[in-house]
Amino acid sequence: MDFAVTLSFDIKMKVMKQVDAGKLKMEHLRWDVEKMKRLLCFIMEENIHLKYKLAAILSRDYSKQQLEQLEKFHSSFIMQDKFNGMIKSHMLELNKLLDKESSLNTNQSIRSATMIEKVCTELNIAEAKAKKLKRDFNIYLLENFKQ
């Protein structure tokens, strides 16, 4: 009888460890998603800042040739906003998916992992595009609007 009680206790402990591991895994996933949200917010804020710079330039005198290039930058900022919005919607989907996962089962884990990988890839692309756009815009401003 003592052996059965000990075995039952061991099984309960193993199950509790698996549940705790699942909770820990979910917690790490949520931390990763929060990091991705902060990065996206930063990218979006940088894009807003660049649009403010563009608006300040457009409130001054500029040539027709400069206007054409500034319009191209404006279009690029809008495209960046759209891409960021798409990523934001994917993050909302991911949050909903993670909220549904009270316990990790294989299908949900695979869907979550796939969605996290997708959002990470999109964020990497968005970050690279944002850095290039910021660099190109700042170089253009330095070369064409010296004060």
DSSP result, 79-101: HHHHHHHHHHHHHHHHHHHHHH-
**CB under 8 Å to 75, separation ≥6 — which residues?**
none
Task: Answer whether 58's CB lies under 8 Å from 142's CB.
Answer: no
For 102, list phi and psi in degrees, rounded to 5.
Answer: -80, -35
Total number of domains constituting the chain? 1
Give the pLDDT mean for 106-115.
72
pLDDT, one tens digit per residue, over 55-95 is 999 998 788 889 999 999 999 999 999 999 999 999 999 88
More confident residue, 99 or 133: 133
pLDDT, one tens digit per residue, over 13-65 is 444 454 455 666 777 778 888 899 999 999 999 999 999 999 999 998 788 88
Q: What is the CATH number of the domain that holds 48?
A: 1.20.58
Give the residue numbers spanning the domain of 105.
Answer: 31-144
Note whether residue 18 is domain-resident. Answer: no
Give the pLDDT mean for 94-118.
74
